[in-house]
Structure 1
Amino acid sequence: MSITEKDLEKIVSQVVKNIEGAITNKNIEIPKNLAPIKINDHHLKGVFEEIEAAIKATSEAQKQLMLEYRIEDRQRFIQAIRKKALENAEKMSQMGLEETGMGNLKDKIIKHKVVAELTPGTEILKTDAYSGDHGLTIEEMAPFGVIGAITPSTNPSETIISNSIAMLAGGNAVVFNPHPGAKNTSTFAVDMINRAIIEEGGPENLVTTIFNPTLDTVEAIIHHPEVKLLCGTGGSQLVKKLLSSGKKAIGAGAGNPPVIVDDTADIPKAAKAVLDGATFDNNIPCIAEKEVFVLEAVADDLIYHMLKNGAVMLDRQQTEAVMKTVLTEKEDLKAASCSGEKPRKTYGASKEWVGKDAKLILKEIGVAYKEDTRCVICEVEGDHPFVMTEMMMPVLPIVRVESIEEAIELAKKAEGGNGHSAIMHSKNIDNLTRFAKEIGTTIFVKNAPSYAGIGVGGEGFCSFTIAGPTGEGVTNARSFTRKRRCVLAEGFKIV
């Protein structure tokens, strides 16, 4: 009995209906924006209902990668991922904006293009060799195996693409636990990456995720014996959780990057650069300028040029109104001290305002703005909540200082010892050197917007996992490998 093409189409159609029925019966919702690319290839690649199944599939795929494929195959897969990411940059940007409500479309498209083009692949892996009378020893960069990665809602698909390229380049496979607030965008990215690899003849499930990520799935990934390395991009609590797991962990923690402008800076250039960095994707990148310390002698000039570049200055009353709108307030949990000092009030950025447009913030408090308005600025004291809180929105506090010494001390307090990023505008080498040494951040940008630190408008590669707390810095494929020594000896005897 022969099967015609028409019969085959009927069979495929029925299989698809059965899959859809099974999904519906299990009450699993597949978003419309994650519709199948082809009708006869319905299921999402690398996306699992159960975390155990995801980890098992990832482990099997990684073993297959190491046994059946070469390094040049990995690079071929990576090139395919880059191509797919560039093709879908606008789509993923739109999805991320609609799902999270944070940032802006133009800058999200730039971020996707940057991670696709500037995240290093296998070319960054180097082997050391030692040869002599007694043989040959090589030290190569070997994979950990399965990596468990927790990704944020601020840069969901960007982080997944960047991490996937770097981790696969090192010979690993990865199971992602995305932030629940960005699960649809993250799922799309994982499906896209798998399709890119499969189309190049690679194994499925080198990159996987869970369809409904929760804290329970995070715990399952952290403690699963098949997961050999952990990587987390998020706040300090996440980093602490990973480091307490007993496994090797790479942690990208919080930041509150300060920027100093001294009296030798090119002020018009500095004003534009500070605003370019602070407003990029509405300030949600963790490297972005969060507070400005400017020497009194040039403060008025800096503010003038900021106003010319799309900033709106608030008066004291308006500043208080913004503070009440965009910050949440809570009592410090610490008890009163022996001196009778009362617990301090602490602040956090209100989730509903994180990543929102400056014009929306101004509209909320009834302040006029122009079409090109992109940042809200205000003058405050060095310990103001706007200075000490990682705002992640285009509200930029400005603090006047009398000396470079005062600027550095206040900047260090605002940065909070996170060791993440800092920026300075100056032509004084001594001032630049002193601030760089004292602030001790993973990224230090001089006379440019903060995003130059990840290769945008500056030199160097890109990554959206900046591992300050665990010391890997701006991560790449090397960060996700371990040193392996292979020795070929020539029978030397110990006398």
Structure 2
Amino acid sequence: MTASKEQSQVAELVRRAREAQRQFETYSQPQVDEVVIAAAWALIKPQNNARLSALAVEETGLGNVQDKVTKNHRKTLGLLRDLQSVRTVGVIGEDRARGLVEIGRPVGVVGVIVPSTNPVATPMNNTLNALKCRNAIILAPSPKGQPSCTRLLELIHAELDRVGAPRDLVQQLPAPVSKALSQEMLQQVDLVVATGSQNNVRAAYTSGTPAFGVGAGNVTVIVDETADLALAAERIRQSKTFDNATSCSSENSVIVVDAVYDAMLREFDRAGAALLNADEKQRLQAAMWHDGHLNREVLAKPVANLCRVAGLEREGLAQRAMLLVEETDVGPQAPFSGEKMSLVLTVYRARDYADAKRIATRILDFQGRGHSLGIHTRDPHRPEELGQEIPVCRIIVNQPHCFATGGSFDNGLPFSLSMGCGSWGGNITDENVHYKHYMNITRVVRTIAPREVSVDDIFGDYKKRYQL
């Protein structure tokens, strides 16, 4: 059978990537670390970051420039902190008591699906993780995000030239990127990392290539009766409005217990949010969803755009930081209960904390299982309680959710733009995807003193209990 044009194009990229990766595999740890730093400088350099951020907003129409500058800088610098002093070459771990030696090995060529919401931060994050483990990488940007991804690639290549590393370690699919090209890449590389739509994730999982994907986001947060309401409102506003809510970790719903509900709404008002009345909510809903699909005219746009599209003319509304809508229902018939990727936050009133947990579980069962849940509380026990009961992989406590979930300088999660959602979200990992997911480990196994057990060692108590 004659190879298709897409098969041939991708095969050539993979051939070049493998050739570069074989050379890179011979690098020492200091040499690898210099390549990582070089690639990162392509974005950390302030002039480059500013240009790429402006280009990303211009081409995708999503987010805002200053927040993308901040995101690109903090996500890259935070990842470099995580990678600093980490060994990925040669012996990376030894357990003499168990007779085990671990050796870091590359996976080969990594293929990455890049969403339009983060056309710069996501490729940089994946590139640094891949390079740290001596892999080559091929990027598949979204069509709208391709220009900024292409410019980033040019800047990375200039830095690879500076340190004498092969350019073909970092490549991208040729323009225009099509589904056929992306599918070919998924099938020809050695490992896939897919971030973005669930269609992209499903394509990665069904490609036949080992893949790390992410689950759907639909973050909700609980505000209980013990919370610092002013601080909670401000943190939620900071997170929800950052980059116009492009993040899958931005709050979509907040559940407030009845005892502090009215006071919390006052704090939201002070923080710059506006609560819509029933008529305004209905008009916004009609504008946001067309035949069950989100209208791109409201995705990651300023509040003024939402007001214009929905015909909301209340004085001062367009100048507010975000919009609030009250809801009682959950499910397809209540679209505000799902992920919105817009500056709209859904508010639920819970009778008490137990009811708040019930509502949160209903929302997650509808959309967002496995991703994360936030809580604003002074109660030291409730976060662990949620971790025992709610089907999510992260419980974010008293933090702006979108800053915290993907790693932050003041929490212990690794910096990442890909949050695994475990089996709840249909993913193979429940972790933030980080460098360890881009590496194979060879284990050298030596004999140790035997640790044999008898049947009675294992079954003795059981036999006594049941008189066997």
TM tier relative to shorter chain = 0.7 to 0.9
| Structure 1 portions without partners, runs of 5+ | 1-48, 330-346, 491-495
Q: Do residues 172 (structure 1) and 135 (structure 2) align? A: yes
Deviates more, 1:174-183 or 1:461-470: 461-470
Alignment of 1:41-440 (within 5 A): 50-67=9-26, 69-87=27-45, 88-119=48-79, 120-121=82-83, 123-125=85-87, 127-131=92-96, 137-212=100-175, 213-224=177-188, 227-329=189-291, 347-364=292-309, 365=311, 366-369=313-316, 373-383=320-330, 385-415=334-364, 416-440=367-391
Return the offset for 1:369.
2.4
Contact (CA 8 Å) 1:183, 1:211: kept in 2 or not? Answer: no
CA deviation profile, 1:3-48 (whole Å, cap 9, x unmatched): xxxxxxxxxxxxxxxxxxxxxxxxxxxxxxxxxxxxxxxxxxxxxx
In structure 1, give the amino acid aligned to 2:410.
Answer: G
Partner of 1:486: 444
Which of 466, 477, 489 aligns to 2:435? It is 477
> What is the RMSD of the two structures over their aligned residues, measured on CA atoms?
2.2
Please, which runs of 5 or more residues in structure 2 have no aligned partner? 1-7, 422-426, 449-468
- What is the SS of the residue equivalent to 2:101? strand
Check whether the contact 2:183–2:203 (CA below 8 A) recurs between aligned residues.
Answer: no
Distance 1:488 1:122, change over 3 A: farther
CA distance in structure 2 between the aligned counterparts of 1:390 and 1:417, rounded to whole angstroms: 8
Deviations 1:343-401 (A, max 9, x none): xxxx3321221101112212332233268621011212132634432100001111111
Deviation at 1:457, TM superposition (A): 5.6
Q: Secondary structure at the residue paired with 1:155?
A: coil
Cα pair 1:112 1:158 within 8 Å, conserved: yes
SS at 1:352 equivalent: coil
Q: CA offsets per residue over residues 59-89 of structure 1, 9 Å max, x none?
A: 111111013x212111111112222212211
TM-superposition CA deviations, 1:75-126 (whole Å, max 9, x none): 1111122222122111111011001101111211111001220113363347
Offset, 1:420? 1.1
TM-score (norm. length: structure 1): 0.80
**Aligned counterparts of 1:137 and 1:411: Cα–Cα separation in 2:** 44
Local SS of the residue matching 1:400? strand
Q: CA deviation at 1:235?
A: 2.4
Cα distance in structure 2, aligned partners of 1:117 and 1:281 = 18
SS in 2 for 1:250: strand
Shift of 1:483: 1.7
Give the alignment partner of residue 467 of structure 1, picking from 420, 443, 467.
420
Identity in percent: 24
Query: Is the 1:76–1:200 contact (alpha carbons within 8 Å) kept by the matching residues of 2?
Result: yes
C-alpha distance in structure 2 between counterparts of 1:477 and 1:107, whole Å: 25
1:425, distance to aligned residue in structure 2 (A): 0.4
Distance 1:446 1:137, change over 3 A: closer
Q: Which moved more, 1:361-370 or 1:113-122?
A: 361-370
> C-alpha distance in 1, partners of 2:447/2:382?
53
The residue identity in structure 1 corresponding to 2:101 is: I
CA distance in 2, matches of 1:267, 1:211: 50
Report the alpha carbon displacement of residue 417 of structure 1 after superposing the two structures with TM: 4.9
Q: Distance in 2 between matches of 1:288 and 1:256?
A: 8
Secondary structure of the residue that 2:138 maps to in structure 1? strand
> Matched residues in 2 for 1:149 and 1:299: separation?
43
Quick one: which amino acid aligns to residue 302 of structure 1? M
Larger deviation, residues 416-425 vs 444-453: 416-425
Distance change >3 Å, CA 324–CA 414, structure 1 → 2? same
Structure 1: which amino acid aligns with 2:394?
I
Deviation at 1:157, TM superposition (A): 0.8
1:455 to 407, 412, 419: 407
